[in-house]
A = this chain, B = another copy of it.
Amino acid sequence: MRYLTAGESHGPQLTTIIEGVPAGLYITEEDINFELARRQKGHGRGRRMQIEKDQAKIMSGVRHARTLGSPIALVVENNDWKHWTKIMGAAPITEDEEKEMKRQISRPRPGHADLNGAIKYNHRDMRNVLERSSARETTVRVAAGAVAKKILSELGIKVAGHVLQIGAVKAEKTEYTSIEDLQRVTEESPVRCYDEEAGKKMMAAIDEAKANGDSIGGIVEVIVEGMPVGVGSYVHYDRKLDSKLAAAVLSINAFKGVEFGIGFEAAGRNGSEVHDEIIWDEEKGYTRATNRLGGLEGGMTTGMPIVVRGVMKPIPTLYKPLKSVDIETKEPFSASIERSDSCAVPAASVVAEAAVAWEIANAVVEQFGLDQIDRIRENVENMRKLSREF
């Protein structure tokens, strides 16, 4: 499966085309809009989220709530577009219009794509860069992730993202009883944190940062349960599933690191405290006594829950600006403030969920036959049976 996304933050719409989705999958616009709404929630989100009430429309590939096997086009219109038709229109404009064009940007914001993108594509007006590099694009990545989640749910595979840390505040209570429990509790938390106490402190930290004209980042974790054994492969470096998941997480705006299982803690531990002992019983077949390796060994799933964490840096659009340089005058100045969130970590956990769900669904569909959801389900069931009886 593959997908492309398109759309500028203040253009008419965001578009994605998802190609290769098996036929026969039940899916509705509600399934997708549920996920888009989740992305828009979260304490610390900026004013833009009040303007946009994201709604995806299915423009192809689905008929009477069943996928046809043909490419699915999803469109999310930008309500804000009506204020930007002149500034962001595709049609040619006169030289005068160009000179009087409002909201031109010649002052790059530190931490953004502004300056690098302007040099790369030779854009004097950095609005040409930020309109696409904006995290607004993740809206249709979440839409594509919603389709992926539907595929996984048909195969008994569940994906749940949640927040472990915001600023200096870390969740202490993280032992959830089941993935459903994790999903239920975090869905009600304004910061998507399983630990209610920590959640309150996180909100306070967000408010404090906002008051200081600053922004804060955090750490999100995505859990995937119900995986058959052996998805991904050790046979070639670019078939390893953890490698693909790492690329997916690092492709999300503002993410600067990713780790699996105990992750960076593995450096300081002895081998005997890192690896998961193999156990077997008649009913479940092979499992692991612990899950320190986060469900992945040799680039393949072990059948244990996949545990992947990503770190999101604070958003670079600060009310307390940093020093930058005006590319026309070469004069130093303090970076301009574009309306934005002071903390997008809760939303980022929804985006991370979508990015992980997509890679997992893609690896499963690729491995268990492309065309038809029922046949894929059958093949996945066979693999589970085979693993139990191996």
Q: In the complex, A29 Cα to B260 Cα: how many Å?
A: 37
A263 CB to nearest B CB, Å = 4
Q: A19-B235, A233-B371, A279-B323 are in contact. List 20 more A-B contacts (CB 8 A).
A: A6-B17, A15-B17, A15-B75, A69-B117, A69-B132, A69-B233, A71-B235, A217-B271, A245-B250, A246-B246, A250-B260, A256-B263, A259-B264, A263-B311, A264-B264, A266-B314, A278-B323, A286-B325, A367-B371, A375-B382
Can you report 16 A-B residue pairs in the complex whose CB atoms are below 8 A from each other? A4-B71, A13-B60, A28-B91, A111-B274, A111-B275, A112-B298, A120-B233, A166-B267, A217-B274, A257-B258, A266-B311, A274-B314, A275-B314, A277-B323, A278-B325, A366-B370
Q: In the complex, A294 Cα to B16 Cα: how many Å?
A: 31
Known: A217-B267, A318-B272. A89 touches B64 (CB 8 A): yes
A191 CB to nearest B CB, Å = 13
A190-213, CB under 8 A of B: which get 1 and which 0? 000000000000000000010010
Question: What B residues does A322 contact at CB under 8 A?
Answer: 272, 275, 277
**Stretch in A45-53, A122-130, A151-159, A173-181 with 4+ CB within 8 Å of B:** A122-130
A37 at the interface (CB under 8 A from B): no
Known: A5-B71, A68-B128, A320-B272. A11 touches B60 (CB 8 A): yes
Instruction: Report whether A234 and B129 are in contact in the complex, using a CB–CB cutoff of 8 Å.
Output: yes
A233-272, CB under 8 A of B: which get 1 and which 0? 1111110101111111111100011111111101111111
A230 at the interface (CB under 8 A from B): yes
Known: A17-B4, A120-B229. A311 touches B234 (CB 8 A): no
A269 CB to nearest B CB, Å = 7
Instruction: Report whether A116 and B298 are in contact in the complex, using a CB–CB cutoff of 8 Å.
Output: yes
Question: What B residues does A236 contact at CB under 8 A?
Answer: 4-5, 19-20, 70-71
User: Closest residue to A294 on the B side, CB-wise?
Assistant: B256
Q: How large is the interface on A (under 10, 10 to 19, 20 to 34, 35 or more residues)?
A: 35 or more
Point out the residue from B6, B116, B262 that lies within 8 Å of A72, measured CB to CB: B6
Point out the residue from B2, B115, B369 that lies within 8 Å of A278, measured CB to CB: B115
Q: Is the interface of A mostly helix, strand, loop or mixed?
A: mixed
Known: A5-B17, A119-B390. A243 touches B235 (CB 8 A): no
User: Closest residue to A321 on the B side, CB-wise?
Assistant: B272
A296-314, CB under 8 A of B: which get 1 and which 0? 0111111000000001111
Q: In the complex, A234 Cα to B91 Cα: how many Å?
A: 24
Question: What B residues does A390 contact at CB under 8 A?
Answer: 118-119, 327
Scoring A268, A272, A278, A293 by chain B CB atoms within 10 A of each residue's CB, the highest score goes to A278
Question: What B residues does A120 contact at CB under 8 A?
Answer: 69, 229-230, 233, 300, 371-372
Question: What B residues does A257 contact at CB under 8 A?
Answer: 257-260, 263-264, 266
A101 CB to nearest B CB, Å = 8
Question: What B residues does A238 contact at CB under 8 A?
Answer: 247, 251
Instruction: Report whether B68 and A8 are in contact in the complex, using a CB–CB cutoff of 8 Å.
Output: yes
